[in-house]
């Protein structure tokens, strides 16, 4: 297949299956455009991946003839002064020489054989020069290197370049190579484990994700923090264990959520859970999960954050820091005892934090108005693809192909705020699913619904109706104000809007005006004149930047001219290796160009300290490239002295390091490489 075909196939599918799935007919254009975009992107990924794998296989093909001798040498080798780099250079593994493909793939293949050789020597030394089983296993991998693509290499192709494992396997087989799929699966598991162990900072009270610089939680004001996995899910199933519901699922007197119209409710403690175990009593300071016979607390679901508040008994108080749901629709109150003790069977009063609940309700109703506005501005193809309804902000993911224009965003925001000012009634109705859909209620495409659903409607007659179990304001006027903060892409055909309402909007606008006030004070201008003043300063700044750049280029010429006297001739080749001052990386290239122009035939390696780290640039004139000198290989070995890496083309390459104190030592190495 030499051209895209999936979009054409999709058109036929819509024509043939549209009578069964009318929604694909309605969204035909959107579906076709998304497929075209994805197919184009995949084609680009394929092109890059093919070039990389060509280099990967080409390097092996060019060097596998040396493998038998290398393996024999290593089998008889005993720890000595030689290192892996010298051994590989001895057997022709340094430099290019691959027949086809890209340098990136060749570098990956070279890194693999280099790592294996290094590991073998390390293991051999650890075993006191005896060829034990671990060393033999590594030697076996080295022996197979010329015929087998390692799991790590397959993983890098997949993870870094998006190249499908199946294609790697197929192409390798066509060229006579095998693929270590077991090793690939091990690398995938390592990646999953890394993701599980990455810890991020969160508020200990409400689980809001925090920045390292946050002194307190922006959502609840708490200064208590905790660290958890980056993919942390705030549900009782994760925090308290998957068996939470087993202890209460068969208790028929547990009633559903009763907090749509009341924030206080008298109930009874049905179950207390500590570390995934049922207990009869919890005491002051103890963290636990608490299940009530009925509750006004909304359990986190459908993107809406769980409620917080207090549960009070005659003998103690329990602070609810989050509320979650576990199957089958059991609500678990997570938190800790602040006073006294609570016992299973206690009669309690459950009190939801009303101000926080109202903040959440404002944002939830605003998402319904936002979807209404987006469908009016962008078209009926807009559908919700995810959401977050928190007390401090809302996030709404939706289907749309392109970035929204400034005008579209303004129009969307205007529609939402107009509906807020109309103070329309917001109400929920329990109605049959079929009737709700017939009336025009919007349902999430991948959500499963029962025979009876809750439809949240706005206005009489309603202008918006969505199947929704969340909490909302009583009328749109309670939202106060709606402001869009950002609109971004989260994938092909998917956009994301983040916005604030009510107190969150007030805080956001206060912050913006505070910034404006500080800017006007700094500039000595009125708010009306700030834009002109900033434009004038930017123009002046750009003018000064151009002047400074001209001076820096002149300085680069003078430095390059002064370096000419340091040129040496080694093995008939002019070599210039020097440390230079530079505030711009581009200056290194300018100097190398001037030196090559002046010296005609030369190997140039320049080093500098940039951003407190060593940076190297190597340049080789075409005549010396023809003689086998390679800037990429030279700069790579130089950078290794400073704990760095890099590379590039034969005529020009750049690399960076870690240890600036080794810059001079690295530059001294250049002469020995010629």
pLDDT at 81: 46
pLDDT at 198: 56
- Map residue 640 onto helix, strand or coil: helix
Give the model confidence (pLDDT) of 504-516 as tens digits: 999 999 999 999 9
Give the model confidence (pLDDT) of 163-197 as tens digits: 889 988 988 888 888 889 998 999 888 888 776 66
**Pick from 634, 570, 576, 580: nearest CA to 603:** 576
Dihedral sign for Cα 334, 337, 342, 343, please. Answer: positive
Give the model confidence (pLDDT) of 335-344 as tens digits: 999 999 999 9
218 DSSP β-pair partners:
none
**Pick from 126, 202, 170, 154: nearest CA to 52:** 154
Best mean pLDDT range from 46-55, 345-354, 632-641: 345-354
| CA dist., res. 108 & res. 92, Å (int) | 16
Say what the alpha-carbon torsion angle 198, 201, 326, 321 is, to the nearest 10 degrees.
160
pLDDT at 97: 41
Phi first, then psi, for residue 376 (nearest 5°) are -75, -40
At residue 217, does pLDDT exceed 90?
A: no
The least confident of 9-18, 242-251, 462-471, 653-662 is 242-251
Give the model confidence (pLDDT) of 346-383 as tens digits: 999 999 999 999 999 999 999 999 999 999 999 988 99
Cβ neighbourhood burial of 463 (10 Å; 0-12, 13-18, 19+): middle
CA diameter of the chain: 95
Best mean pLDDT range from 221-230, 316-325, 554-563, 627-636: 316-325
Structure tokens at 52: 């990389």
Domain boundaries, the chain: 6-194, 233-252+262-351, 357-510, 550-673
Structure tokens at 531: 């834009």
Contact 217, 236 (CB under 8 A): no
Strand segments, DSSP code E, in 476-529 are 482-491, 494-501
What average pLDDT does the chain have?
Answer: 84
Give the model confidence (pLDDT) of 385-399 as tens digits: 889 999 999 999 999
Query: What average pLDDT score do residues 295-312 get?
Result: 94
At residue 552, does pLDDT exceed 80?
A: yes
Say what the alpha-carbon torsion angle 554, 555, 561, 566 is, to the nearest 10 degrees.
-160
pLDDT cut 90: percent of the chain above it: 44
What CATH code would you report for 357-510?
Answer: 3.30.980.10
pLDDT at 241: 40
pLDDT at 42: 78
Say what the alpha-carbon torsion angle 512, 515, 516, 519 is, to the nearest 10 degrees.
-160
Between these two residues, 673 and 218, which has the higher pLDDT value? 673
| CA dist., res. 552 & res. 599, Å (int) | 22
| CA dist., res. 467 & res. 299, Å (int) | 17
pLDDT at 358: 97
577 DSSP β-pair partners:
605
Contact 345, 268 (CB under 8 A): yes
pLDDT at 515: 92
CA 484 to chain centre: 23
pLDDT cut 70: percent of the chain above it: 87
From edge to edge, which strands make up the β-sheet containing 482-491?
A: 384-389, 394-399, 494-501, 482-491
- Map residue 314 onto helix, strand or coil: coil
- Map residue 136 onto helix, strand or coil: helix
At residue 86, does pLDDT exceed 70?
A: no
At residue 239, does pLDDT exceed 50?
A: no
What CATH code would you report for 550-673?
Answer: 3.10.310.40
The least confident of 2-16, 221-235, 308-322, 498-512 is 221-235
pLDDT at 127: 72
The total number of residues shown for the chain amounts to 674
Question: By 3-state DSSP, what share of the chain in percent is helix, strand and coil, each rounded to 5?
Answer: 45, 25, 30
**Pick from 314, 514, 499: nearest CA to 398:** 499
Instruction: Please count the other Cβ atoms lying within 10 Å of the Cβ belonging to residue 359.
Output: 22
CATH top-level class for 233-252+262-351? mainly beta
Give the model confidence (pLDDT) of 428-452 as tens digits: 999 999 999 999 899 886 677 888 9
Query: Are β-strands 281-283 and 287-292 bridged in parallel, bridged antiparallel, or unpaired?
Result: unpaired
Structure tokens at 317: 């108080």
């Amino acid at each position: 297949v030499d051209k895209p075909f999936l979009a054409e196939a999709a058109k036929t599918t819509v024509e043939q299956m549209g009578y069964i799935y009318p929604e694909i007919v309605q969204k035909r254009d959107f579906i076709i455009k998304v497929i075209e975009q994805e197919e184009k992107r995949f084609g680009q990924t394929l092109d890059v991946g093919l070039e990389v794998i060509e280099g990967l296989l080409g390097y092996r093909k060019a060097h596998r003839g040396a493998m038998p001798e290398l393996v024999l040498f290593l089998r008889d080798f005993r720890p000595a002064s030689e290192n892996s780099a010298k051994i590989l250079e001895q057997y022709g593994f340094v430099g290019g020489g691959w027949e086809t493909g890209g340098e990136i793939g060749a570098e990956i293949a070279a890194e693999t054989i280099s790592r294996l050789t290094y590991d073998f020597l390390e293991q051999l030394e650890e075993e006191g020069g005896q060829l034990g089983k671990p060393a033999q296993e590594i030697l076996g991998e080295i022996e197979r290197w010329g015929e087998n693509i390692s799991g790590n290499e397959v993983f890098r192709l997949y993870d870094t370049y998006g190249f499908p494992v199946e294609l790697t396997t197929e192409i390798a087989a066509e060229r006579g190579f095998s693929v270590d799929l077991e090793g690939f699966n091990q690398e995938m598991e390592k990646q999953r484990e890394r993701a599980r162990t990455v810890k991020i900072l969160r508020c200990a009270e409400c689980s809001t994700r925090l920045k390292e610089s946050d002194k307190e939680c922006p959502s609840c004001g708490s200064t208590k923090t905790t660290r958890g996995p980056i993919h942390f899910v705030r549900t009782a199933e994760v925090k308290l264990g998957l068996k939470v519901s087993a202890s209460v699922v068969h208790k028929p007197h547990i009633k559903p959520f009763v907090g749509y119209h009341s924030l206080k409710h008298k109930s009874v403690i049905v179950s207390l859970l500590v570390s995934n175990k049922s207990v009869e009593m919890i005491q002051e300071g103890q963290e636990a999960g608490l299940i009530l016979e009925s509750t006004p607390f909304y359990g986190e679901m459908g993107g809406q954050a769980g409620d917080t508040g207090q549960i009070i008994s005659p003998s103690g108080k329990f602070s609810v820091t989050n509320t979650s749901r576990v199957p089958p629709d059991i609500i678990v109150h997570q938190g800790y005892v602040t006073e006294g003790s609570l016992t299973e069977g206690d009669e309690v009063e459950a009190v939801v934090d009303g101000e926080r609940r109202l903040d959440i309700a404002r944002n939830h109703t605003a998402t319904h108005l936002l979807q209404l506005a987006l469908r009016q501005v962008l078209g009926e193809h807009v559908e919700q693809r995810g959401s977050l309804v928190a007390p401090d902000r809302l996030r709404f993911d939706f289907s749309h192909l392109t970035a929204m224009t400034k005008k579209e965003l303004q129009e969307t925001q205007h529609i939402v705020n107009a509906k807020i000012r109309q103070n329309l009634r917001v109400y929920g109705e329990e109605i049959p699913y079929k009737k709700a859909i017939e009336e025009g209620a919007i349902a999430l495409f991948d959500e499963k619904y029962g025979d009876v659903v809750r439809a949240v409607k706005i206005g009489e007659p309603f202008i918006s109706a969505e199947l929704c179990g969340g909490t909302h304001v009583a009328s749109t006027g309670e939202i106060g104000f709606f402001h869009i903060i950002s609109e971004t892409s989260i994938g092909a055909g998917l956009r994301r809007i983040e916005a604030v309402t009510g107190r969150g909007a007030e805080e956001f606008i206060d912050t913006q005006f505070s910034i404006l006030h500080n800017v006007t004070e700094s500039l000595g201008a009125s708010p009306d004149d700030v834009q002109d003043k900033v434009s004038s300063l930017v123009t002046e700044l750009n003018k000064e930047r151009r002047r400074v750049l001209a001076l820096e280029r002149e300085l680069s010429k003078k430095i390059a001219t002064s370096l000419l006297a340091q040129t040496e001739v080694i093995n008939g080749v002019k070599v210039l290796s020097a440390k230079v001052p530079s505030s711009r990386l581009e200056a290194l290239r300018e100097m190398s160009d001037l030196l090559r122009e002046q010296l005609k035939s030369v190997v140039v390696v320049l080093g500098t300290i940039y951003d407190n780290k060593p940076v190297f640039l190597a340049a080789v004139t075409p005549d010396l490239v023809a003689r086998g000198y390679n800037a990429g290989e030279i700069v790579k070995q130089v950078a290794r002295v400073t704990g760095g890496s890099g590379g590039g083309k034969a005529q020009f390459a750049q690399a960076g390091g870690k240890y600036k104190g080794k810059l001079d030592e690295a530059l001294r190495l250049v002469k020995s490489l010629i």
